[in-house]
Amino acid sequence: MKYAVLGTGMVGHTLATKLVSLGHEVRMGAREADNVKATEWASSQGSQDGHGTFADVARWADRVIFAVSGAQIETVAAAVGEAAVAGKTVIDVTNPLDFSNGMPPDLVPHLSNTNSAGEALQAALPSAKVVKTLNTMNHEIMVNPAVVPGSHDVFLSGDYEDAKGDARDLLAEFGWSEPIDLGPLAAARGTEGMMPFWLRMWGAHGSANFNYRIVRA
């Protein structure tokens, strides 16, 4: 499978590297085609053409992962453009965090409560099939749930069942056995809204290596 990973931060690096290790073809996207981090990542994988602009790599790919600054989701969606993702499964792992007032960050008001980064992405790219997942945990756990001992959970939501099937397949490749399907993409309001708690739990725990476990009656 050809995956475009949009994002040159730690999440983009972790996801892109794991996808390569699983045998997928991967290109990393950034604002500029010659982005240093993307170029270095591609070189580290032995690839000269494994990077490009957000639009270039999305157009090339079968599936597209958004691992960019969540506060900039609309800007990046506009840079990608509808034609590059039409009909494609788009996996969104972002959180709409505003760091301008220091730590811990706030949720971006127009992307939270009655909206979400996931929904904003779907609205900006209506012919894509957006699935929200993996945003409720540290990037190392995303691709290796065994970092946290015992059973714990990953959530997904989206408006397209076929795209959610693609996301479930990817999650299984990462080692997640039973993702919790929260239904339509609007459920991203809930999982992105877990971030203010997650950030305080991180502070209290002193480590980002923890996760949510849903215990049912």
Ligand X SMILES: NC(=O)c1ccc[n+]([C@@H]2O[C@H](COP(=O)([O-])OP(=O)(O)OC[C@H]3O[C@@H](n4cnc5c(N)ncnc54)[C@H](OP(=O)(O)O)[C@@H]3O)[C@@H](O)[C@H]2O)c1
Tell me, what DSSP letter sits at residue 108? P
Q: Is 30 in the site for ligand X (CB under 6 A)?
A: yes
Both tokens of 211, joined, read 């996760």
Least distance between ligand X and beta carbon 93 (Å): 5
Which is nearer to ligand X, 89 or 211 (by Cβ)?
211
198 close to 171: Cβ distance less than 8 angstroms? no
Number of residues that bind ligand X (CB under 6 A): 23
| CA–CA distance, 18 with 21 (Å, rounded to integer) | 5
Q: Is 11 in the site for ligand X (CB under 6 A)?
A: yes
129 close to 65: Cβ distance less than 8 angstroms? no
Which is nearer to ligand X, 67 or 186 (by Cβ)?
67
Nearest residue to ligand X on Cβ basis? 9
Contacting residues for 120 by C-beta, under 8 A, at least 6 apart: 73, 74, 77, 96, 111
Strands 97-98 and 106-107, sheet pairing: antiparallel
Least distance between ligand X and beta carbon 33 (Å): 10
Both tokens of 1, joined, read 């499978």
Q: Is 70 in the site for ligand X (CB under 6 A)?
A: yes
Q: Is 167 in the site for ligand X (CB under 6 A)?
A: no
131 close to 85: Cβ distance less than 8 angstroms? no
Binding residue (CB under 6 A) for ligand X from 115, 116, 135, 157: 135
Q: Is 7 in the site for ligand X (CB under 6 A)?
A: yes
Enumerate binding residues for ligand X (CB under 6 A). Answer: 7-12, 30-31, 35, 67-70, 72, 75-76, 93-95, 97, 135, 138-139
